[in-house]
Amino acid sequence: MVRRYADRPVDPEALDRLLRNATRGPSAGFSQGSEFLALSEADDVALFWTATGADPASHNEWLDGMRTAPVVIVPLADESAYRRRYTEPDKARAEDAEWAVPYWFVDTGMAALLILQTAVDEGLGACFFGIPLEHVEGFRAAFGVPPHLTPIGAVTVGHRLDDPGSPGSPARRERRADAVHRGRYST
Ligand SMILES: Cc1cc2nc3c(=O)[nH]c(=O)nc-3n(C[C@H](O)[C@H](O)[C@H](O)COP(=O)(O)O)c2cc1C
């Protein structure tokens, strides 16, 4: 995760590839219930930050770094697309069925990872981060995003600097070594 970017635009073809790959991720039942809001105009990126609660006059290391990104992509999950798809004859699930796992968030998360990986492939840097709950409505209103779409977070994209910006949680936490269980669950 890169949290500070060089003062250089992202090549429009690279952005197209990030978005094309995002739309080629796997989706349950091929529901394709993920959409993407791509912001690459400086005014739009600035509006993203104010709409999600960043006071233009306020400064902290994270925000000052993240606001240098020339591109922000917001992956949007459409729960209703899955509920509709799974009522079709080959799935035959009730529209209000309880889901063991909300596939709309699984799939949109996978799409976000494809954006991050394509950024690396393009020699760019990126960071996935959350939109605070209290700013989701403000974000929707600012960009005309309809209520059936839930932003699962956002991805900044830009050219890497040698200094990747403020360190993330791994600077404060150990990577766990006990997450893989072979054969049986073991503690
Ligand atoms: C769902 C999710 C939410 C995250 N939210 C934030 C965030 O709000 N701010 C941030 O700087 N990084 C955020 N991250 C990035 C994580 O901090 C980062 O992936 C993790 O610490 C591991 O670091 P690495 O990806 O650089 O290995 C988020 C990552 C995920 C998957």
Atom of ligand 1 nearest to the CA of 62: 11
Phi, psi of 91, rounded to the nearest 5 degrees: -115, -45
169 C-beta closer than 6 A to ligand 1: yes
Residue written as token pair 């925000």: 63
Per-residue pLDDT 10s for the chain (187 aa) are 999 999 999 999 999 999 999 999 999 999 999 999 999 999 999 999 999 998 888 889 999 999 999 999 999 999 999 999 999 999 999 989 999 999 999 999 999 999 999 999 999 999 999 999 999 999 999 999 999 999 999 999 999 998 888 888 999 999 999 999 999 998 7
Residue ranges of domains in the chain = 12-165
Residue 102 identity (one-letter amino acid) = P
CB proximity list for 136: less than 8 A, separation 6 or greater: 150, 151
**Helices in the chain by DSSP H: which ranges?**
12-22, 42-51, 61-66, 79-85, 103-121, 136-143
Q: Which pLDDT value is given to residue 58?
A: 84
Are 41 and 10 a contacting pair, CB within 8 Å? no
Q: How far apart are CA 111 and CA 19, in angstroms?
A: 9
- For ligand 1, atom 10: residue with the closest CA: 129
Q: How far is the CA of 145 from the centre of ligand 1 (A)?
A: 24
Please check whether the domain covering 12-165 is classified as CATH 3.40.109.10.
yes
CB proximity list for 109: less than 8 A, separation 6 or greater: 75, 152
